[in-house]
Amino acid sequence: MSMNTQGRPTGTGSAGAAATGSALLPNEPLLFEIGDTDHSGVDLPDVDLDVSFLGGFERQTPLDLAGLTEPEAMRHYVRLSRLNHSIDSGMYPLGSCTMKHNPRLNEKIARLPGFSDIHPLQPISTVQGALELMNQLSHWLLTLTNTAAVALSPKAGAHGELLGMMAIKAAQEAAGQAHRTVVLVPESAHGTNPATAAFLGYTVKPVPAKADGTVDVEAVKAALSSEVAAIMLTNPNTCGLFEPQVIEIAQAVHDAGAFFYCDGANFNAIMGVVRPGDLGIDAMHINLHKTFSTPHGGGGPGAGPVVLSEALAPFAPVPFVRRAGSGLELVEHVEGSALGRVTAFHGQMGMYVRAFTYMLSHGGDGLAQAAEDAVLNANYVKARLDHIFSVPFPDYPTMHEALFDDSFLRDTGVSTLDFAKALIDEGFHPMTMYFPLVVHGAMLIEPTESESKQTLDRFCDVMAELAQDATNGNKERFTAAPMRAPRRRLDETRAARQPVLTWEKPNRLPKAAE
């Protein structure tokens, strides 16, 4: 490979020669190309090896791990970091992902030794502060949702979904309803919903949406039967709309003996303003990494606590915290528990600390204001752009995300993907594309409450200008985009066809898989 030494183009949207990288963004070699097995960035004493307790199991296979001294490591990871877009450097208008500001106070608090340096299995008497935090976080989540119980331990949203559906399954088995094997999932649902239902052995039955983008109560009623275990519904839904008939849907589902699983990915639109428990939900996961500002960290760790209705509360997994005398206890075993545990230890404590710190900072009033601002921002983007981009479901005000389709690109030779990649050259992360699946060439924009009016105006100006350019026939600006990112478009087909998943020394050519 050769180092790309060309500078950044100065004009915007100049579809000229390739010009990735810049003097400040060098192509960084791999760790294994700059380090070797002799280098180390830690000083540890070399002790004599006493083999009497090793049973002859000593390592014979070379580790072949490259090491870096501290200054080399610092430079490697700082340089790599600069190839990433991040919330701190620019907006992520990513629908369904709630990329909001990550307060640094949360990071500071999570690193207090009283939180970071405690072991999950040290005596309960020595972690009363941790249990108090879990208890208070639970209280906030229950208050915000008006539900009966919460299981904190799921490690992420999809894990929370899994737990919630396990609780539903357990409840139905306990009630002699094990023959209920169907789960209704609207076509607009996140991919995790059908994946979770299938994971538990359920048959997934899609529910069509109405022309206005909301779930059809009549279609739900028609699909309900004694075979149906649950419906999995996102509200606000993935089209950014609040389901106006959600209460009737819940009623119908309950009347049919089924449960209502609510995907809480979009809770940011309604926290402090609408309580899902008032809508009749039975279980809902809450993504602490979306709604409650814990950092995404380049893809996790997340946290997905699940709130449960009265009916499902007895099927909560262990562990959970409860009052015991003057203190708190952690219940780690329940005799005959239907569910047991879904993770080792007690879940994502580091995320609980960050989310709770955020809650205290915002207060109940601030959380409601944040939800309102999130909705305001999405409607503002929609209002500023709806004369250029068509809104597939104009009947309702949008909630926290604005959905457009790709009809404005018709006959331009520019795809939604091309259009989104052109946003990169203007300093924005692409919006969510081609999701929800029910809208052709969908572009789902969630600004979150963190973006200022100024940033939204700039974003809207850029969107409008790009749309103009696309319709004017400046196709190459889009099909060749991005041109000003650390890389041009990457060949994903090649990556999948001949997977190279680990580094091999150049003289040992990687073998293709299968």
- C-beta of 56 vs 410, nearer to another protein: 56
Task: Verify binding: residue 60, another protein, rule CB under 8 A.
Answer: yes
Sequence-ordered list of residues with C-beta below 8 angstroms from that of 241, at least 6 positions apart, any chain: 212, 213, 214, 393, 396, 398, 399
Task: Verify binding: residue 490, another protein, rule CB under 8 A.
Answer: yes
- C-beta of 256 vs 330, nearer to another protein: 330
Tokens of 6: 């060309």
N- to C-terminal Cα distance for the chain? Answer: 26
Task: Verify binding: residue 64, another protein, rule CB under 8 A.
Answer: yes
Interhelix angle 349-385/453-471, nearest 10 degrees: 50
Among 5, 7, 12, 111, binds another protein (CB under 8 A): 111
Task: Verify binding: residue 402, another protein, rule CB under 8 A.
Answer: no
Stretch that binds another protein, among 61-69, 222-230, 253-261, 407-415 (CB under 8 A): 61-69
β-sheet with 182-186: strand ranges across:
149-151, 306-308, 283-285, 259-263, 228-234, 182-186, 203-207
Tokens of 84: 């990433």
Footprint of another protein on 361-390 (CB under 8 A): 361-370, 372-373, 375-377, 379-380, 382-384
Strand pairing partners for 320? 331
Is the N-terminal amide bond of 123 cis, ω within 30° of 0?
no
| Shortest distance, position 276 Cβ to another protein, whole Å | 9
- Find the radius of gyration of the CA atoms of the chain: 26
Tokens of 38: 């002799």
| Shortest distance, position 307 Cβ to another protein, whole Å | 15
Nearest of 498, 480, 510 to residue 20 by alpha carbon: 480
- The answer to whether the beta carbons of residues 412 and 470 sit under 8 Å apart is yes
Footprint of another protein on 65-104 (CB under 8 A): 65-68, 70, 73-74, 76-78, 80-89, 92, 94, 97, 99, 101-103
Count the site residues for another protein by CB under 8 A: 213
| Shortest distance, position 485 Cβ to another protein, whole Å | 4
Integer Cα distance of 214 and 208 in angstroms: 9
- C-beta of 362 vs 477, nearer to another protein: 362
3-state secondary structure of 215: strand
- C-beta of 45 vs 325, nearer to another protein: 45
Stretch that binds another protein, among 255-263, 290-298, 403-411, 466-474 (CB under 8 A): 290-298
Residues across the chain: 514
- The answer to whether the beta carbons of residues 378 and 450 sit under 8 Å apart is no
- The answer to whether the beta carbons of residues 262 and 276 sit under 8 Å apart is yes
In 302-414, at which residue ranges do the beta strands (DSSP E only) sit? 306-308, 320-324, 327-331, 402-404
- C-beta of 273 vs 471, nearer to another protein: 273
Footprint of another protein on 161-200 (CB under 8 A): 161-162, 166, 169-170, 190-192, 194-199
- C-beta of 457 vs 471, nearer to another protein: 457
Footprint of another protein on 119-158 (CB under 8 A): 119-123, 125-130, 132-133, 140, 143-144, 146, 155-158
Footprint of another protein on 270-289 (CB under 8 A): 270, 272-275, 278-279, 289
| Shortest distance, position 37 Cβ to another protein, whole Å | 4
- C-beta of 25 vs 471, nearer to another protein: 25
- If one counts every other C-beta atom within 10 angstroms of the C-beta of residue 305, the result is 28
Task: Verify binding: residue 350, another protein, rule CB under 8 A.
Answer: yes
Among 430, 436, 459, 463, binds another protein (CB under 8 A): 430
Task: Verify binding: residue 114, another protein, rule CB under 8 A.
Answer: yes
Residue 151: its H or E element = strand 149-151
Stretch that binds another protein, among 226-234, 255-263, 407-415, 427-435 (CB under 8 A): 427-435
Footprint of another protein on 242-261 (CB under 8 A): 242-244, 246-247
| Shortest distance, position 267 Cβ to another protein, whole Å | 14
Integer Cα distance of 181 and 174 in angstroms: 14
Backbone angles phi, psi at 253, to 5 degrees: -65, -45
Tell me the Ramachandran region of residue 448: left when phi exceeds 0, alpha when psi lies from -120 to 50, beta otherwise: left
Question: What string marks each residue from 443 to 462 as x (binds another protein by CB under 8 A) or -?
Answer: ------xxxxx---------
- C-beta of 163 vs 224, nearer to another protein: 163
Residue 184: its H or E element = strand 182-186
Task: Verify binding: residue 24, another protein, rule CB under 8 A.
Answer: no
